[in-house]
Chain A
């Protein structure tokens, strides 16, 4: 199986889907001539031409609306946001148009659109450009939200998103684009709504998604050395969420820690905890703990930024607490 970077896995998914379906086109800031701010669209303008790889002005609300209109007209747009911090400007089109039209048209007008781009913090981009938006987006009925952590899942979930007849949000990560992994060639589609056990274990379940999969796996390594067998479950899909897999894991391990990049209040982890306390109550040997970003705007200072972010050390500490080791 070829080893690809996360960015090239996304590029492969886009290329294959554009080759497969002439209705698929890419639109966004710098996606064409510059080949993407993070080079996800490398070579696509050359291969598919300016009608299908469209550079837009810096006007998120405008081009998101153009995308929704194209989807209403029967095309399958992929709208790239340079980051989800900028997509806040387009939320009216995402939430009030894309997510509502199928419902408000009585099921007559599907909106097969993908909104994608990097989400969450990178390094020292400061408070306005370091935000994780998944709890905002996954809150909305009418949207599907996926957050792949590995190159293989990035390819498989983007392909599934493009083929889905609903608006799908694909949350990528600036710090993930350069990560490498084995990626199946050709037809590799990861179904939306399925979590993935990234590492099996018996003593504690670490639930994570997107960028927190990396520290969770690192935490599992460290826990192993301390005699604790941790199971790492990658949500992959935040809406719909794979309740069955989460519950199955916690029923097995009896203990759980949820990690996410977002803030604690009303976060994705709060939703996970809701599922677990309801469906796995009698299996719990300890309260579920969460590891999140600190409840503050992201500091610019490097040390403070590191202190604010979820980390393997914080996940290890939480896991030890739910195992009553500390």
Chain B
């Protein structure tokens, strides 16, 4: 019995997927659970797994092609089952039970001929030869989702070594020998460089993540009635505490200002449940748990991995977890459960010297905190001018959930905690 392989919804919001790479090829034997292909969803690159044992046939989507969820992309034929030379419409109805997915397979419309042969060349001898790569290079490539076959090895006999993966694996490990560390720590978006072409403009198709960002943010700023509250926080004590903690930690990690803000916001939310809420069409869900989304810039977009139960985690735990999530976000290796379910979000552009900004709410959340840079500013205290480290916070609120005064008292609590970090222990 043939089993159709569909483009599956591999993230909660995925509507179409780009086939990044086939792991199995036409004619390969596959077992349930084997990775058939890597698929770029709207958020990450995920594995598409086999749901039947057998042989992969009628591969109809080429690497790089984008197809909607539900489209059949191959067939797994049972062991021993023969498939005629002419394309045979698979009979998925019995195996899937999904009405939506049957559409393309009814007999009235002949199934499109498989493009498999043209799109996916049979492995040549060169392809089949084992790839020479150091164990470290293999590990980095695997973690970064890089196909070693696409790289040219600079080691002896064409061995792929770590330096060949420089720039491919973002933010991993120390710089190699005699090669200066890359200066850019933050991924930059894929804007075409003007000198490449003389054309007056260039159309760049939207990537999955850009499409999602466009859709979700337009669904926020338009329909969600935003308003913004800004306050300036004295960060002298927090900065001193941070320096002391980092001295204490030594090599065991670093606490960032962002970690402190996340922790303080999480604690402040436990006291102001009104700001830890989701707007749902006919009700408001006030959360008792605090899950803070932390916006992370990734190549060509952003994503908000979630620090779960941030109110109950230590600064060190928050720091380590944020670091790990951000790293994997940049490598596009987050699992869906790691970037969904936040109850409140924090966006920080302080590292870019942004003084203050307004962030767009991540629906259905009711608020998002925009964090500016920590910088020395003149402050008048007791009639004298002092230099103090200050930071601006801007809270974007959904007026359907949070009224002005409600947002303001939350922000006040947050400010007090940051100005007197010991208060977090209360």
B120-139, CB under 8 A of A: which get 1 and which 0? 00000000000000111111
What is the minimal beta-carbon distance from B227 to any residue of chain A, in angstroms?
50
Q: Does B244 contact A (CB under 8 A)?
A: no
Given A204-B177, A227-B177, A286-B134, 13 additional A-B pairs, CB 8 A? A227-B178, A228-B177, A282-B135, A282-B136, A282-B138, A283-B135, A285-B135, A285-B136, A285-B161, A285-B162, A286-B155, A324-B163, A325-B178
Q: Does B176 contact A (CB under 8 A)?
A: yes
Query: Restricting to B313-348, which residues have a CB under 8 Å from any CB of A?
Result: none
Q: Which residues of B contact A254 (CB under 8 A)?
A: 136, 162, 173
Query: Restricting to A193-245, which residues have a CB under 8 Å from any CB of B?
Result: 202-204, 227-229
Nearest-CB residue, chain A, relative to B139: A282
What is the minimal beta-carbon distance from B59 to any residue of chain A, in angstroms?
32
Q: Does B65 contact A (CB under 8 A)?
A: no
Q: Are B136 and A203 in contact (CB under 8 A)?
A: no
Whole-angstrom CA separation of A228 from B177 in the bound complex: 6
A238-269, CB under 8 A of B: which get 1 and which 0? 00000000000000001000000000000000
Q: Are B134 and A285 in contact (CB under 8 A)?
A: yes
What is the minimal beta-carbon distance from B136 to any residue of chain A, in angstroms?
4
Whole-angstrom CA separation of A228 from B175 in the bound complex: 12
Whole-angstrom CA separation of A325 from B139 in the bound complex: 22
Q: Does B174 contact A (CB under 8 A)?
A: yes
Residue from the set A202, A229, A286, A325 with the largest chain B CB neighbour count within 10 Å: A286
Q: Are A323 and B177 in contact (CB under 8 A)?
A: yes
Query: Restricting to A272-293, which residues have a CB under 8 Å from any CB of B?
Result: 281-286
Q: How many A-B residue pairs have CB under 8 A?
A: 41
What is the minimal beta-carbon distance from B212 to any residue of chain A, in angstroms?
34
Q: Which residues of B contact A285 (CB under 8 A)?
A: 134-137, 161-162
Q: A285-B161, A324-B163 are in contact. Are A203 and B134 (CB under 8 A)?
A: no
Whole-angstrom CA separation of A325 from B161 in the bound complex: 12
What is the minimal beta-carbon distance from B61 to any residue of chain A, in angstroms?
33
Q: Does B376 contact A (CB under 8 A)?
A: no
Binding site for A on B (CB under 8 A): 134-139, 154-156, 161-163, 173-174, 176-178
Q: Are B136 and A324 in contact (CB under 8 A)?
A: no
Q: Are B136 and A325 in contact (CB under 8 A)?
A: no
Q: Which residues of A contact B137 (CB under 8 A)?
A: 285
Q: Which residues of A contact B156 (CB under 8 A)?
A: 324
Q: Are B154 and A324 in contact (CB under 8 A)?
A: yes
Q: Which residues of B contact A282 (CB under 8 A)?
A: 135-136, 138-139
Q: A285-B134, A285-B137 are in contact. Are A203 and B161 (CB under 8 A)?
A: no
Q: A202-B174, A203-B177 are in contact. Are A324 and B161 (CB under 8 A)?
A: yes
Whole-angstrom CA separation of A230 from B15 in the bound complex: 51
Q: A283-B136, A284-B135 are in contact. Are A325 and B177 (CB under 8 A)?
A: yes
Q: Which residues of B contact A284 (CB under 8 A)?
A: 134-136
19 A-B pairs within 8 Å (CB atoms) are namely A227-B178, A228-B178, A229-B177, A254-B173, A282-B135, A282-B136, A282-B138, A283-B135, A283-B136, A283-B139, A284-B134, A285-B135, A285-B136, A285-B137, A285-B162, A286-B155, A323-B178, A324-B156, A324-B161
What is the minimal beta-carbon distance from A231 to any residue of chain B, in angstroms?
12
Whole-angstrom CA separation of A319 from B138 in the bound complex: 22
Closest 5 CB pairs of A and B: A285-B136, A203-B177, A285-B134, A282-B139, A323-B177
Whole-angstrom CA separation of A12 from B156 in the bound complex: 51
Whole-angstrom CA separation of A323 from B155 in the bound complex: 10
Query: Restricting to A285-312, which residues have a CB under 8 Å from any CB of B?
Result: 285-286
What is the minimal beta-carbon distance from B198 to any residue of chain A, in angstroms?
39
Whole-angstrom CA separation of A254 from B161 in the bound complex: 11
Whole-angstrom CA separation of A286 from B160 in the bound complex: 10
Whole-angstrom CA separation of A204 from B174 in the bound complex: 12
Q: Which residues of B contact A202 (CB under 8 A)?
A: 174
Q: Are B161 and A286 in contact (CB under 8 A)?
A: yes
What is the minimal beta-carbon distance from B421 to any residue of chain A, in angstroms?
33
Whole-angstrom CA separation of A147 from B163 in the bound complex: 36
Nearest-CB residue, chain B, relative to A229: B177
Nearest-CB residue, chain A, relative to B161: A285
Nearest-CB residue, chain A, relative to B155: A324
Whole-angstrom CA separation of A3 from B278 in the bound complex: 71
Whole-angstrom CA separation of A214 from B155 in the bound complex: 30
Q: Which residues of B contact A281 (CB under 8 A)?
A: 135
Whole-angstrom CA separation of A283 from B134 in the bound complex: 9
Whole-angstrom CA separation of A94 from B375 in the bound complex: 70
Nearest-CB residue, chain B, relative to A252: B174
What is the minimal beta-carbon distance from A319 to any residue of chain B, in angstroms?
10
Whole-angstrom CA separation of A284 from B161 in the bound complex: 9
What is the minimal beta-carbon distance from A248 to any residue of chain B, in angstroms?
12
Q: Are B135 and A203 in contact (CB under 8 A)?
A: no
Nearest-CB residue, chain B, relative to A230: B177
Q: Which residues of B contact A204 (CB under 8 A)?
A: 177
Q: Which residues of A contact B174 (CB under 8 A)?
A: 202
Residue from the set B134, B163, B173 with the largest chain A CB neighbour count within 10 Å: B134
Residue from the set A227, A228, A323, A324 with the largest chain B CB neighbour count within 10 Å: A324
Residue from the set A204, A228, A282 with the largest chain B CB neighbour count within 10 Å: A282
Q: Which residues of A contact B154 (CB under 8 A)?
A: 324
Q: Which residues of A contact B163 (CB under 8 A)?
A: 324
Q: Which residues of A contact B162 (CB under 8 A)?
A: 254, 285
Nearest-CB residue, chain B, relative to A319: B177
Whole-angstrom CA separation of A40 from B227 in the bound complex: 83
Q: Which residues of B contact A286 (CB under 8 A)?
A: 134, 155, 161
Q: Which residues of A contact B138 (CB under 8 A)?
A: 282
Whole-angstrom CA separation of A78 from B173 in the bound complex: 48
Nearest-CB residue, chain B, relative to A226: B178
What is the minimal beta-carbon distance from A90 to any residue of chain B, in angstroms?
43
What is the minimal beta-carbon distance from B318 to any residue of chain A, in angstroms?
26
Whole-angstrom CA separation of A254 from B174 in the bound complex: 10
What is the minimal beta-carbon distance from A173 to any residue of chain B, in angstroms?
32
Whole-angstrom CA separation of A286 from B136 in the bound complex: 8
Q: Which residues of B contact A325 (CB under 8 A)?
A: 177-178
Whole-angstrom CA separation of A254 from B137 in the bound complex: 10
Nearest-CB residue, chain A, relative to B175: A202
